[in-house]
Structure 1
Amino acid sequence: MSRTSTTARRLFDRFEPVHALTYFAPESREALGQAGFRGFWMGYFGARSAPLGAVGADLVTAVFYNFAPAHVARALPAAWEFASPADALRAREVSAVAALGRCGVGDGTEVQTAADLLAKAAATAPLDGRPLFAANRAVPWPDEPAARLWHASTLLREHRGDTHVAVLVANGVGGRDCNVLHALADRVPREFIMRSREYDDQEWQVCLDRLAARGFVDDQGALTDSGREFKQHLEDSTDRLSLSAFDALDDGELELLFRALTPLTRAVVAAGDIPAATPMGLRRDDLDDDGAQLS
């Protein structure tokens, strides 16, 4: 059977919500607050960067890629005065399991199967050029099925994220410009990305001007045909390079993964914590199909 870049995209749309729950669930915000972090963004930057250790703002700005340096610097390294990386790792895992349990994702057969297959993939996915994935893979594996499911999903989403950053860098798209390009391509509303990634109108226009200078944006501030083709090229390249993360699974295992993981993703999405518009640009249009669509 053949695997295409579409396979990687469909997999992402299934495991990303399992991981992303930790950014939106009340259990996560409460746990990170109890650990000592002050406010959502200190918890976000602290918890997500915790596998790297007690790092500072420059490293996180580089690895996370699309946040404003000043935004990161308000949280790091100050976060480590309130809680340690170990505290953050414990809080995010415990809260993720609690949130998944509330969504109905516990210790069932589908959870065990999906966790085992995602873990098998993540254990041998290529490390090269993927620092956040590598840091997360060095974190000890949990034993509880739901925790393993979340941890494996986290590994694979950071693997894809590192891959996407590499694609952007190779194509000359900076971290701030990529958010604007994402919004122009209708992957996420402008208002949402301006608020969550801290743009003012002036910076947004500077990014638009840079994209326009490359022929990607017209005089009305919309994507040109070249801009749409370029954005699709970035997405297709990310999908193609992310597919290698699943080389350890044969076609039967990949089909089994889809059938086990898809209903779990539906349950997470149905719980309503993850908004329809997120910076990740998740798609939900084929979650009614639990087949791998291999041919």
Structure 2
Amino acid sequence: MPRNHTIARRLHDRIEPVHAVTYFAPEARAALDDLGYRGFWMGYVAARSAPLGAVPAEVVTAAFYNFAPERVAKALPAAWDVAPPAAALRARQESAVAALRRCGVTDDEAGAVADLGAKALAGADVGGRPLFAANRALDWPDEPLARLWHTTTLLREHRGDGHVAVLVAEGVSGRECNVLHAAAGGVSEEMIKRSRDYDDAQWAHHQSALRRRGLLDDRGELTVSGRELKQRIEERTDAVALPALDALADDEVEALFAALTPITRKVVAAGDIPAVTPMGLNRDYLDDEGVQPA
């Protein structure tokens, strides 16, 4: 039976907090600081791009898509003079394991998710997905909590790469997509301007570009065409993320959700992941453990 693309959205809301300990947990911040990376953003850019190796900043800007080129250029290649990609890879995995263990995630819980994730992702197509491909090329860890985090990271970057492809196909630039996301109410304008480096003039510039396309009105709110585009982007992102589960039978997908949801609840309850993030996650989806709402 064909699977509804909303499964992919519900999966994303479960995997993202587990993956995101590597950005927000104190263990991760301490580990990256101990390597000598200067400030949150150098650590973030180094850790997330480390699977790509010491590539030019322009390559990372292309892969991340919605970050200011100047932000990436401040971190790279300077970060690799501080500590190489291999060190960043070790730090992010070890600190993620420590954070998940502190959140109360057990080896048995982690192993159940990781086993299903490994089966799903082993044959997933890497075409057009550079961050997913780079992460999948890494060795699978042996430790259950490390395997859990690696699984959620692969699923997260698989979806993210697909989202970038959809935005490119719709003619929405990396900087415009942040403005569109804020106009849709996914996140506040203040948050996205602060987290993605916009001043008022830059924000207005991208608003004007979207307004000329008829996607925003004079108040900076979505027009009918803008709402239709935003919905199409989100639905298409879900649709191209869904094949990551093709290798799993329906009962295995149910088992994945049943095993993952309690883990995500523990991570959220620990309080490291902010209630509101630039990804605009929906935590209402954590009320039930199944593929479909109860």
TM over 0.5: yes
Residue 74 of structure 1 aligns to a residue whose secondary structure is helix
- Which structure 1 residue ranges, 4+ long, deviate > 6 Å from structure 2? none
2:278 alignment counterpart: 279
Structure 2 CA distance for aligned equivalents of residues 256 and 169 of structure 1: 34
- Provide the identity percentage: 67
Is contact 1:28–1:92 with CA below 8 Å preserved after alignment? yes
Q: Which residue does the alignment assign to 1:89?
A: 89
Secondary structure at the aligned position of 2:193 is classed as: helix
- 2:251 match: 252
Structure 1 match to 2:60:
60
My pick for the range that moved more, 251-260 or 34-43, is 34-43
Per the normalisation by structure 1, the TM-score is 0.98
Equivalent-residue separation in structure 1 for 2:262 and 2:62 (angstroms) = 35
- Please give the alpha-carbon distance, in whole angstroms, between the structure 1 residues aligned to 2:35 and 2:87: 6
Question: After the TM superposition, which of the residue ranges 116-125 and 159-168 deviates more from structure 2?
Answer: 116-125
Q: For residues 196-232 of structure 1, what are the alpha-carbon distances to aligned partners after superposition, in whole Å with 9 as ceiling and x for unaligned?
A: 1000000000110111111110111111111111101
- 2 CA distance for matches of 1:2 and 1:168? 25
Corresponding residue number in structure 2 for 1:43 = 43
Corresponding residue of 1:265 = 264
Indicate yes or no: 2:10 matched with 1:10.
Answer: yes
1:23 aligns with 2:23: yes
1:189–1:277 Cα contact (<8 Å) kept: no
Give, in whole Å, the separation in 2 of the partners of 1:231 and 1:17.
Answer: 23
Partner SS for 2:287: coil
Q: TM-score scaled to structure 2, two decimals? A: 0.98
Shift of 1:2: 3.7
- 2: distance between equivalents of 1:70 and 1:286? 36
Indicate the larger mover: 115-124 or 257-266: 115-124
Whole-Å Cα distance in 1 between the matches of residues 66 and 175 of structure 2?
5
**Contact map agreement 1:164 1:238 (CA 8 A) in 2:** yes
Distance (whole Å) between structure 2 residues aligned to residue 134 and residue 221 of structure 1: 37
Aligned residues: 294
Determine if contact 2:13/2:285 at 8 Å carries over to the other structure: no
Counterparts of 2:91 and 2:12, CA distance in 1: 24
Distance 2:203 2:20 in 1: 26
Q: Once the two structures are superposed, what CA deviation does each residue of 1:174-212 show, in whole Å capped at 9, x if it has no partner?
A: 000000101111111111110110000000001101111
Indicate the SS of the match to 1:7: helix
Q: Is contact 2:184-2:222 (8 Å) kept?
A: yes
- The C-alpha deviation readout for 1:26-67, integer Å capped at 9, x for no partner, is 100100111221111111000100000012211111110001
List alignment gaps of at least 5 residues for structure 2.
none
* Unaligned stretches of 5+ residues in structure 1: none
